[in-house]
Amino acid sequence: MKILVVGGGGREHALVWKILQSPKVEEVICAPGNGGIMEMVDCEPVAADDIDGLLNLALSRSIDLTVIGPEAPLTAGIVDVFQEKGLRIFGPTKKAAAIEGSKIFAKKLMKKYGIPTAEFESFTDPKDAFEYLKTHGAPIVVKADGLAAGKGSIVCKTDKEAHDAVLTIMEDRAFGSAGDGIVIEECLTGEEASIFVLTDGNDFLALPPSQDHKPLNDGDTGPNTGGMGAYAPAPIIDDKLTYTINTTIIKPAIDAMRNEGIPYTGLLYAGLMMTAEGPKVIEFNCRFGDPETQAVVPLIENDLVELLEATMDGTIKNYSIKILPMYSVCVVAASGGYPGKYEKGKEIFGIDDIYISQNKNIFHSGTIIKEGRLYTNGGRVLCMNAVNTDLRWAIEQAYSLIESVDFQNMYYRTDIGKKGLARLYNIR
């Protein structure tokens, strides 16, 4: 088979790495890829949101299966376009991708089907939103309805912040038309977890639960980022919680979509808060998460291509997931300044001297190769991954990888996986 992977982040590097291990695969192509992916497979300079360009690429290169990384092409309808041309593509249709593309849609769906989530109200007129805030004070969360590159959810500690958040989204239009509507919701407290399931619209297969580290700095402080590291399996999700999540959130969500006439196929990502009242949904995403994928994928023993095909063929119930009995940790090396302004084009040193194995990987995010040298090309630059039977060792090995590389103003969190250590060994 020839497979096209769309995207150019650490998530796509991990997917390409895993897909290449499938005996079914003859060739993998990535668009647009990055400096690390380029060393493994052919990369084509077509942007991830250029649907026509990707369609032409898939047709001209006789691609058998296209796998989409980021949300933007999915919510813009790439799956519908490819399917109309008879091409196989992994991911939800445009209507089904609205589970991520419109927070108002997702929240209303959850309310209608009794899926636990924060109490909320949605608005399309800022006047109504300001009125609502008079009776619903901080802490409170204001969210742009549409996609906002991970910046559209504002957790407000004061009433003024909440007022300003509505202004920013609806009047200053900081996220453009994504702010035509907003959700204002109750602020939940607890630990977060990311649940990935592969679903064919009827049945699902859960991948190991993981935990992202969204805030920039240690101790979960500072501004939110795309994610500064992740580990899996996250011990907070024990068997009992897995059962609760599957029966009160995942299955009802899949059934709800089917019942609404928009069956969901692909990877469904539930971002959850483990509250005192049980797990509640913060958001659904219509794709693999980044950086959780870089932690989760190395634990999967199955042929990933077989599983992707089963979600498209409606046969996922015939499969069971085989997971290495190990822990996987990934730590992100970011450019200084990220998630605000940062510089690109800094040379990256030390990578060639690192010995890479099945249990030790460097997944690239924002990197580029120029004249044989590797440079930074984004906010999140590299993702160091280590797999070990002991979470403590996996963490130590991921950090020893990061200490072996260097670029100007490199920044990383030093506490990735600490919540897992606290739970397993009471190490704080």
Residue ranges binding ligand GLY (CB under 6 A): 150, 212, 227, 285, 289-290, 292
Name which of 266, 274, 321 is nearest 92 in CA terms: 266
The pairing of beta strand 204-206 with beta strand 191-199: antiparallel
Contact partner at residue 187 from ligand AMP, ligand GLY, none, CB < 5 to 8 Å by partner kind: ligand AMP
CB of 317 to ligand GLY, least distance (A): 27
Q: Which is nearer to ligand AMP, 183 or 197 (CB)?
A: 183
Distance (Å, whole) CA 204 – CA 216: 33
Distance (Å, whole) CA 410 – CA 412: 7
Indicate whether 333 belongs to the interface with ligand AMP (CB under 6 A). Answer: no
Contact partner at residue 292 from ligand AMP, ligand GLY, none, CB < 5 to 8 Å by partner kind: ligand GLY
Q: Which is nearer to ligand GLY, 185 or 212 (CB)?
A: 212
Indicate whether 244 belongs to the interface with ligand AMP (CB under 6 A). Answer: no
CB of 150 to ligand GLY, least distance (A): 6
Q: 126-135 vs 159-166: helix axis angle to the nearest 10?
A: 170
- Inter-residue contact 321 to 377 (CB < 8 Å): no
Q: Which is nearer to ligand GLY, 229 or 310 (CB)?
A: 229
Q: Name the residue with the smallest CB distance to ligand GLY.
A: 289
Distance (Å, whole) CA 238 – CA 290: 23
Amino acid at 22: S
Q: Name the residue with the smallest CB distance to ligand AMP.
A: 153
Q: Which is nearer to ligand AMP, 192 or 303 (CB)?
A: 192
**Longest Cα separation, the chain:** 60
CB of 59 to ligand GLY, least distance (A): 29
- Inter-residue contact 66 to 82 (CB < 8 Å): yes
284 sits in which H/E element: strand 278-285
Helix, coil or strand: residue 421: helix
Contact partner at residue 12 from ligand GLY, ligand AMP, none, CB < 5 to 8 Å by partner kind: none
- Inter-residue contact 94 to 100 (CB < 8 Å): no
Contact partner at residue 164 from ligand AMP, ligand GLY, none, CB < 5 to 8 Å by partner kind: none
- Inter-residue contact 91 to 266 (CB < 8 Å): yes
Q: Which is nearer to ligand AMP, 10 or 271 (CB)?
A: 271
Q: How many residues in the chain?
A: 428
Indicate whether 224 belongs to the interface with ligand AMP (CB under 6 A). Answer: yes
Indicate whether 141 belongs to the interface with ligand AMP (CB under 6 A). Answer: yes
Q: Which of 80, 161, 283, 396 binds ligand AMP (CB under 6 A)?
A: 283
Would you give the binding string for ligand AMP spanning residues 257-276, x where CB under 6 A is met? --------------x-----
Stretch touching ligand AMP by CB under 6 A, among 90-98, 150-158, 250-258, 348-356 = 150-158
Contact partner at residue 51 from ligand GLY, ligand AMP, none, CB < 5 to 8 Å by partner kind: none
Q: Which of 64, 192, 200, 203 binds ligand AMP (CB under 6 A)?
A: 192
Contact partner at residue 224 from ligand GLY, ligand AMP, none, CB < 5 to 8 Å by partner kind: ligand AMP
Contact partner at residue 227 from ligand AMP, ligand GLY, none, CB < 5 to 8 Å by partner kind: ligand GLY
Indicate whether 12 belongs to the interface with ligand AMP (CB under 6 A). Answer: no
Distance (Å, whole) CA 34 – CA 10: 9
Distance (Å, whole) CA 165 – CA 9: 29
Cα dihedral 129→130→136→137 (10° resolution) = 130
Indicate whether 282 belongs to the interface with ligand AMP (CB under 6 A). Answer: yes
Distance (Å, whole) CA 75 – CA 65: 19
117 sits in which H/E element: none
Contact partner at residue 188 from ligand GLY, ligand AMP, none, CB < 5 to 8 Å by partner kind: ligand AMP
- Inter-residue contact 370 to 377 (CB < 8 Å): no
Amino acid at 208: P
Which residues in 153-182 contact ligand AMP (CB under 6 A)?
153, 155
Distance (Å, whole) CA 219 – CA 231: 16
Residue tagged 């296209």 (tokens): 66
Site for ligand AMP, rule CB under 6 A: 118, 141, 152-153, 155, 185, 187-188, 192, 214, 224, 271, 282-283
